[in-house]
Homo-oligomer: A and B are copies of this chain.
């Protein structure tokens, strides 16, 4: 920058002001400066600028469990476009639902002085990560998984009622009484809430809760497959299954196909989470669709709001989800 100033015969601060548009500069001088910048191939150092400005770096930190989950892909995509509008870049990391990895990631984001953080907290975030985030002055919004006690902004989908509505549909429209649940990773609020929704649904349809009909599917394809296997290989298997997320839907359906059980004839199926391919399955999937992009956008709104006013009360936003009825439930 000093070189540019010399070559353009202006002061270093004029160069700075040209670059930032922070004060009026004579058009002639400006042109000259820009020409020199171009010619010298000079590139503004964003890092030094952030330091000089005393901190903030025009970037947002994002942490999710796995990029490969299309759910997070869509959310991050929405966040990306939203923050790009005000000149920020994303700093990303994967947590793998691992406490240690998550803690390290957030620490790193904080050290890099991001302007805000969007995090899908894992099962044990309350131990170290959330306290750290609450203590830090960096605006944070928790994504997808809600920690009601956390003094942070949060946004997620309503899980209870939609899951209950799946049970309603299976029970009322298709007369299913033995409904199984391939449940998510223990410790995630989504897992807990969807289980709650499942139980709510059973209850209001007068079906007794049978713990053998709930399997730990670990929120992954593999574990979901195993959970389905355990549940369906029993004496008195369920006649319908609900999978707690898209990954476990794949796992469950894979087991069913491998074992030549047809959906919905042998066993009816519903999933939480809809996706592009859902309608192309052997039996198009009946599922709860979350509004992924909207979740991402909302996260950014919350962040911006708090950026402007730190004293705002913490809010927990629940976005609605909708039931998409296709055929895997038994509907024609």
Please give the residue numbers on chain A whose beta carbons come within 8 Å of chain B beta carbons, in ascending order: 41, 43-48, 50-51, 57, 59, 66-70, 72-74, 76-77, 80-81, 84, 89-94, 101, 105, 108-113, 135-136, 221, 250, 253-254, 257, 275-277, 279-282
**Chain B residue with Cβ nearest A57:** B47
Chain B: which residue is nearest A96 at the CB level? B81
| Contact residues in B for A275 (Cβ distance below 8 Å) | 277
Residue in B closest to A46 when the chains form the complex, CB atoms: B111
**Which B residues touch A282, using CB under 8 A?**
280-282
- CB of A94 within 8 A of CB of B68, answer no
Question: Cβ of A91 and Cβ of B93 under 8 Å apart?
Answer: no
Copies of this polypeptide in the complex: 2
> Chain B contacts of A48 at CB under 8 A?
51
C-alpha spacing A73/B76, complex, angstroms: 11
Cβ contact of A47, chosen from B43, B51, B84, cutoff 8 A: B51
CB distance from A72 to the nearest CB of B (A): 8
Report which of B43, B57, B77, B277 forms a contact with A67, defined as CB distance below 8 A: B77
* Contact A93 B80, beta carbon cutoff 8 Å: yes
Query: When chains A and B are docked, how far (Å) is the Cα of A109 from the Cα of B43?
Result: 11
Q: Tell me which residues across on chain B come within 8 A of A45, comparing CB atoms.
A: 51, 111, 113
Most buried by B among A48, A68, A250: A68
Are A280 and B94 CB-contacts (below 8 A) given A70-B73, A112-B46?
no
Which residues of B have CB within 8 Å of A108?
A: 46, 89
Give the CA-CA distance A59 to B90 in the complex, in Å: 12
Residue of B nearest to A61 (CB): B89
Q: How far is the CA of A113 from the CA of B43 in the complex (A)?
A: 10
Beyond A47-B50, A76-B92, A90-B93, 19 additional contacts (C-beta under 8 Å) are A41-B135, A46-B108, A48-B51, A59-B112, A66-B77, A67-B73, A68-B70, A69-B73, A73-B73, A80-B94, A84-B101, A89-B91, A89-B93, A89-B109, A89-B112, A91-B91, A253-B280, A254-B280, A275-B277
